[in-house]
Chains A and B, each alone.
Chain A
Amino acid sequence: MTASLSSLREVSVAFGDQPVLVDVSVEVAPGRIVTVVGPNGAGKSTLLRVALGLLRPDRGRVERGARSVGYVPQRLTVERTLPLSVRRFLAMAVPGRVPLADLETVLERVRAGHVLTRQVADLSGGELQRVMMARALLRRPDLLVLDEPVGGVDMAGQAELYDLIAALAREQGTGVLMVSHDLHVVMAATDEVVCLNRHVCCAGHPESVSRHPEYLALFGPRVAASLAVYTHDHDHVHLADGTVGTHGGAGHVHGPECRHG
């Protein structure tokens, strides 16, 4: 097995006295797509920030083995006061001069070839998302870190972008760590799903995760049913403060992949 591109071991982060991540372990190997799913406030973006080295965890080990990282943040706001063309925005991704042909090629890959001369502040949400993806690709990354990479992109475009991500992993061995809410896509095109709610509820192959009681508890029977997996009684509830409670007196029984205490 090749060395991992990003490895978090039993990482904990708290903002003030509010725990955001508790003993979270995630590993991304070359060519693997790891998708983090979870409700709002589950610490998904925080997890990415720790993996990127933007945030130092309070406890735990972080190893970053990637040579070049491409990052697509959840949102990017370019002030209207800053005059900046898409061409310049893309060229900023790497030091030195970038041939125009390279910029055109990478924009074509994300199907945004027409925006090269536009100003970044004038792009629509979906266009900006594609341009950010193109900028990440320009870095020839061996690790892609994507925070909801298809937000604002139309339905057809979403499928295209996910296909592109999958192709990068299969053909170039790029490791991918991403946050996504598109559970259908996640289940179809991911090697490993990490179901996060401050702690790792369950992790593993999409199929096994989708049957995991904690996953069902987190997303509810309706989502689960829409994904055509059988519903399952779970033995604990997630309380509003993010802690794990129990039904009645019986304790919570951990599943095979469950890593939380």
Chain B
Amino acid sequence: MDEFLLLALAAGVGLAVVAAPFGCFVVWRRMAYFGDTLAHAALLGVVAGVAAGIDVTLGVAAVGLAAAALLATLRQGSALASDTVLGIVSHGALASGLVALALMETVQVNLMGWLFGDILAVGWPDVAAIWLGGAAALALLAALWRPLVAMTVDEDLARVEGHPVGRARLGLMLLVALVVAAAMKVVGILLVTSLLVIPAAAARRFARTPEQMAAAAALAGAVSVAAGLWGSWRLDTPSGPSIVVAAVALFALSQAVPGRR
């Protein structure tokens, strides 16, 4: 196997495994639009990274964290519905990112690569960052797991039972922002949420506990990445969209076979 394919597989599978439990919370807590918003804001992060002359992924992560913190505060005391707020921030960020990129004439940015992912361009440092950063993100999520599951059932009940609800929610939002920033390289800004949502949705029918669903989602995500890369290599199709197509096919398959009830 070519090295670049091996690298892509290592990065993609690592990311799918890390993204899986976060994807479960995105599905349980109806945060899909929140994920989209962070992804769209990431284009501003690309611009900021290029303009500041720093590593683009750092710029994306910084803008993502800032956007997550901003949305966490906007949530409280807004007269607008939360999906309206997300719609404004999401498309506002995407559009201003595109405009800003066009204004920066001197800089060459591979826009298609950012929008649809460029997993075949990752190097060993990227893979190391995904695995190490991913392990850290999963460790933090494990520490917040109990309160997060409790508040997914009912926030008031979780609060009465003494769970640190506010801290857990902010923690989840920030970690999802980081996962989205990392996942951009693989499937791109426009498809990033799919890597969170689709494997978790495919896993639902086979799980009877939250932990089983997270594990099954990790498996589904890893299989999607492998199948998508293989298809992309054989058929010479773009890698990011191929991974998402594989994930959707897996989801369709999961609906067809009998689940556990």
Q: CB of A44 within 8 A of chain B?
A: no
Q: Report the separation of the CA atoms of residues A257 and B60 in the bound assembly, to the nearest whole angstrom.
A: 63
* B160 lies within 8 A of A81 (CB): no
* B161 lies within 8 A of A54 (CB): no
Residue A69 contacts which of B154, B160, B207 (CB distance < 8 angstroms)? B160
Interface residues of B in 111-140 (CB under 8 A from A): none
* B159 lies within 8 A of A54 (CB): yes
* A78 lies within 8 A of B153 (CB): yes
Q: Interface 1/0s, chain B 210-231, versus A by CB < 8 A?
A: 1011000000000000000000
Contacts of B207 in A (CB 8 A): 83
* B159 lies within 8 A of A84 (CB): no
One of A21-29, A87-95, A157-165, A179-187 at the interface: A87-95
State the interface size on chain B (CB cutoff 8 A).
22
Q: Report the separation of the CA atoms of residues A220 and B40 in the bound assembly, to the nearest whole angstrom.
A: 57
* A81 lies within 8 A of B28 (CB): yes
Interface residues of A in 67-89 (CB under 8 A from B): 69, 71, 73, 76, 78-79, 81-85, 88-89
* B204 lies within 8 A of A76 (CB): no
Question: Contacts A81-B204, A82-B152, A83-B204 given: A88-B209 contact, CB under 8 Å?
Answer: yes
The A interface, classified by DSSP as helix, strand, loop or mixed, is loop
Q: CB of A244 within 8 A of chain B?
A: no
Which A-chain residue is minimally distant from B206 (CB atoms)? A83
* B212 lies within 8 A of A83 (CB): yes
Q: Report the separation of the CA atoms of residues A88 and B153 in the bound assembly, to the nearest whole angstrom.
A: 11
Contacts of B161 in A (CB 8 A): 71, 92-93, 139
* A73 lies within 8 A of B157 (CB): yes
Q: CB of B156 within 8 A of chain A?
A: yes
Q: CB of B144 within 8 A of chain A?
A: no
Contacts of A76 in B (CB 8 A): 153-154, 157
Contacts of B159 in A (CB 8 A): 52-54
Q: Which of A84, A88, A93, A119 has the most CB of B within 10 A?
A: A84
Residue B209 contacts which of A83, A93, A95 (CB distance < 8 angstroms)? A83
Contacts of B95 in A (CB 8 A): none
* A84 lies within 8 A of B210 (CB): yes
Residue B153 contacts which of A54, A82, A145 (CB distance < 8 angstroms)? A82
State the interface size on chain A (CB cutoff 8 A).
24
Contacts of A52 in B (CB 8 A): 156, 159-160
Give the Cβ gap from B150 to chain A, nearest Cβ, in Å: 6
Contacts of A79 in B (CB 8 A): 28, 30, 152
* A83 lies within 8 A of B157 (CB): no
Contacts of B209 in A (CB 8 A): 83-85, 88
* A83 lies within 8 A of B156 (CB): no
Contacts of A82 in B (CB 8 A): 28, 152-153, 210
* B208 lies within 8 A of A119 (CB): yes
* B160 lies within 8 A of A71 (CB): yes
Q: Interface 1/0s, chain A 132-175, versus B by CB < 8 A?
A: 00000001000001000000000000000000000000000000
* A73 lies within 8 A of B153 (CB): no
* A71 lies within 8 A of B153 (CB): no
Residue B157 contacts which of A71, A81, A95, A120 (CB distance < 8 angstroms)? A71
Residue B210 contacts which of A53, A83, A93, A95 (CB distance < 8 angstroms)? A83
Q: Which of B157, B204, B208, B209 has the most CB of A within 10 A?
A: B157
Contacts of B100 in A (CB 8 A): none
A residues sitting closer than 8 Å to B (CB atoms) are 49, 52-54, 69, 71, 73, 76, 78-79, 81-85, 88-89, 92-93, 95, 119-120, 139, 145
* New contact pairs (9) apart from A69-B160, A83-B207, A84-B209, CB-CB < 8 Å: A52-B159, A76-B154, A76-B157, A78-B153, A79-B30, A81-B28, A85-B209, A88-B209, A92-B153
